[in-house]
Amino acid sequence: MIPEKIEKYIVKYVSKSATSKDLDKLIKWIENPNNKLLFKDYLKDHYAIMFSINDPDAKEVTRKVLDEIRTEKNRMRRNRFVKGFKYAAVAVLFIAVGYFMQLDGDKPQMDTLKPEKKITLQLEDGTVKIIDENQTTEILGANGQVMGLQTGKQLSYDNSVSVDKLVYNTLTVPFGKRFNLVLSDGTNVHLNAGTSLKYPVKFINGLDRKVFINGEAYFDVVKDKKHPFIVNADELDIRVLGTQFNISSYPEDKHINTVLVEGSVSIFDTQENDGNEPQVLKPEQLGSWSKTNKQITVSKTDIEQHVAWREGRLILDEVPFNDILKKLERQYDVTFSNAYTALESREFTARFDIEDIHQVMRSLSEAATFTYTINNKQILINH
């Protein structure tokens, strides 16, 4: 049986939170001949993708994993100035994907999946404009003055425009896409797939800087002590002065999650009238508000698994299968039908970097031993 301390090193490596010292200890433990079999069995039990129907040589897979851990340790030593979640690592699942791609060149026949939905901008008067990510377009106000400029995948608003009342725009990003928004105060907002954000084209002096989100976004808020920045998500308000944080508030999810990267935020339940104090987060903490019991819980978390989506990556740490499907639907703009109900409550740990939906489905099917078919954007999972 693997010691609990060693198991933590393995999990930290997979979730990309291991330090150089952690990797040193993990390598030393694996290199002991008595531990190689334990390590192989652990991989088989927790990362079944490595030992699926093709049954590759366990020694070869173990060697590849060990080589990758050494490579990551050396990379970290060369990049000591890189802090927090910004360093790169290769997860066990990613290695396995590449390994299976080499073992078997045959792929299921699948239609090419291409996102067709467009990013839209709704103006104050209800007019909806299509955002073309390949063009540069001026955003005009009701009186014809230029309020902002859209260049490629970023929309920036001008703080010098003259506005005497709050005028709202709503930016909507469909499944399969991401977009960047710079508000009039300079606050930078990264919008994830399936997200809608309502915001003033210019913040008004003397009023709070308040925006409304449905979906997920990463906020890098410009500090302004006189004008607190407030993000409203359903029945929740997140209040800040200047900080970086991620909020996930999709309608289909059971929780609204706020992860603080740096600075400080306060979380308020907007429906509470009994004098409850707000929850204040510290960096590397997750504030999770339950839509069922209306309670906020705070816990320590690994930042990167919550913000990796900004680079198109998915980091999953013991995530239920149904939740994985939701994330894949958003990221790849597909729809799942799961006929294998026994999978719903099973949890998986995995990492996907640059894989397309074909590679992702191939990996998941080998890990969980299911079959699937893809018809256009519809994916059916069978036993």
pLDDT tens, residue by residue, 136-178: 999 988 788 899 999 999 999 988 888 888 999 999 999 999 9
pLDDT tens digits, one per residue of 32-42 = 877 877 776 66
Mean pLDDT of the chain: 80
pLDDT band at 253 (very low <50, low <70, confident <90, very high): very high
**Across the chain, which distance is largest between two alpha carbons, in Å?**
76
Q: Is there a single domain that holds both residue 143 and residue 287?
A: yes
Query: Average pLDDT, stretch 191-199?
Result: 96
Calpha distance 232→60 (Å, rounded): 51
Calpha distance 26→212 (Å, rounded): 45
Q: Is there a single domain that holds both residue 56 and residue 138?
A: no
* Whole-number pLDDT of residue 247: 97
Q: Is there a single domain that holds both residue 148 and residue 267?
A: yes
Is the confidence at residue 112, as pLDDT, over 70?
Answer: no
Long-range pairs of 205-212 with CB within 8 A, sequence gap ≥ 24? 207/166, 209/183, 209/185, 211/183
Is the confidence at residue 98, as pLDDT, over 50?
Answer: no
Calpha distance 272→210 (Å, rounded): 19
pTM greater than the 0.85 cutoff: no
Q: Is there a single domain that holds both residue 253 and residue 279?
A: yes
Q: In the numeric block, which tokens belong to residue 218?
A: 């990463």
Hey, CA dihedral for 304, 306, 312, 313, is it positive or negative? positive
Q: Is there a single domain that holds both residue 378 and residue 244?
A: no
pLDDT band at 76 (very low <50, low <70, confident <90, very high): low
Q: Considering 44, 79, 103, which residue would you say is the last residue of a domain? A: 103
Q: What is the number of structural domains in the chain?
A: 3
pLDDT tens digits, one per residue of 102-111 = 333 333 333 3
Query: Average pLDDT, stretch 49-53?
Result: 35
- What percent of the chain is modeled with pLDDT above 70? 76
Q: Is there a single domain that holds both residue 377 and residue 244?
A: no
Torsion of CA 35, 57, 381, 177, to 10 degrees: 80
Q: Considering 74, 103, 132, which residue would you say is the last residue of a domain? A: 103
Q: Phi, psi at residue 16, to the nearest 5°?
A: 65, 35
Q: Is there a single domain that holds both residue 161 and residue 289?
A: yes
Query: Average pLDDT, stretch 81-108?
Result: 34
Strand 279-281, strand 265-269: pairing: antiparallel
Q: Considering 103, 138, 157, which residue would you say is the last residue of a domain? A: 103
* Whole-number pLDDT of residue 18: 65
Q: In the numeric block, which tokens belong to residue 171?
A: 């930016």
Find the domain containing 238 and state its range. 119-304
How many C-beta atoms lie closer than 10 Å to residue 118's C-beta? Answer: 15
pLDDT tens digits, one per residue of 306-341 = 999 999 888 888 889 999 999 999 999 999 999 999
